[in-house]
Amino acid sequence: MDVDQIETLSAPERVVARTLPENPPGSLRELLHLAFPLVISAGSLSLMNVIDRIFIARLSVDALAASMPTTMLNWTIISLPFGIAGYTNAFVSQYEGGGRKERVAAAIWQGLFIAGLAGLLLQPLVFFSRQIFGSMGHAPHVAELEAEYFNMLCPVAIPTLLNCVLVCFFTARKRTSIVMWVNLFMACLNACLDPILIFGWKALPGIGIGGAAIATVTSEFVGTVLFSVLLIREARSNGYPFGATCRLDWELFKRNVRYGFPNGIQMLLDVAAFTLFVALIGQLGTLDQAATNLAFTLNSVAFIPMMGMGTAVMTLVGLRVGEGQPALASSTVWKAFALSGGYMLLFAAVYLSVPEIILSPFMHGDEKAQFEAMSPIVITLLKFVAMYTFFDAMAIVFGSAIRGAGDTFFSLLYSVGTGWLLMVAPTFWIIHRGGTLYQCWAAITAAVIVMGLGFLLRFICGRWKTMRVIEPVPIVD
Residue 372 lies in a domain: yes
CA R_g for the chain: 22
- Asked if residue 9 is part of any domain, the answer here is no
Q: Are 367 and 64 in contact (CB under 8 A)?
A: no
Q: Which among 64, 74, 93, 51 is positioned nearest to 405, based on CA atoms?
A: 93
The 10s digit of each residue's pLDDT in 269-316 is 888 888 888 888 888 887 888 888 889 888 888 888 888 899 889 888
Q: 260 falls in which pLDDT band (50, 70, 90)?
A: confident
Name which of 191-195, 318-322, 421-425, 444-448 the model is least confident about.
318-322
For residue 67, give the nearest of 219, 293, 274, 358 by alpha carbon. 293
Region of poorest pLDDT, from 37-41, 209-213, 431-435: 37-41
Strands (E), 183-316: 200-201, 204-205
Asked if residue 244 belongs to a domain, the reply is yes
Strand partners, 204: 201
Is residue 19 in a domain?
Answer: no
Is-contact 198 207, C-beta < 8 A?
yes
Question: Is 93 part of a structural domain of the chain?
Answer: yes
- Taking the C-alpha atoms of residue 34 and residue 45, their distance in angstroms, rounded to an integer, is 18
Range scoring the smallest mean pLDDT among 5-9, 121-125, 325-329: 5-9
Number of domains present in the structure of the chain: 1
Q: Look up residue 113 and give its amino acid.
A: F
Q: Are 1 and 17 contacting, i.e. CB atoms less than 8 angstroms apart?
A: yes
Domain enclosing residue 122, as ranges:
24-466
CA distance 153 to 155: 6
Task: Answer yes or no: is 165 within a domain.
Answer: yes
Evaluate whether residue 8 is within a structural domain.
no
Q: How far are the Cα atoms of 39, 200, 206, 209, 413 from residue 203, in angstroms, in the given order?
A: 39, 8, 10, 19, 54
- Asked whether 37 and 287 are in contact (CB, 8 A), the reply is no
Residue 98 pLDDT > 80 = no
pLDDT above 90 (res 159) = yes
Whether the pLDDT of residue 11 is over 50: the answer is no
Give the distance from CA 1 to its chain's centroid: 31
Query: What CA–CA distances, in Å, run from 427 to 274, 431, 435, 445?
Result: 11, 6, 9, 12
Return the pLDDT at 121: 93
Quick check: 227 pLDDT over 90? yes
* Domain membership flag for residue 474: no
Q: DSSP string spanning 88-100?
A: HHHHHHHHHHTT-
Burial 396-412 (b: 16+ CB within 10 A, else e): bbbbbbbbbbbbbebbb
pLDDT given at position 468: 66
19-30 pLDDT tens trace: 444 677 778 888
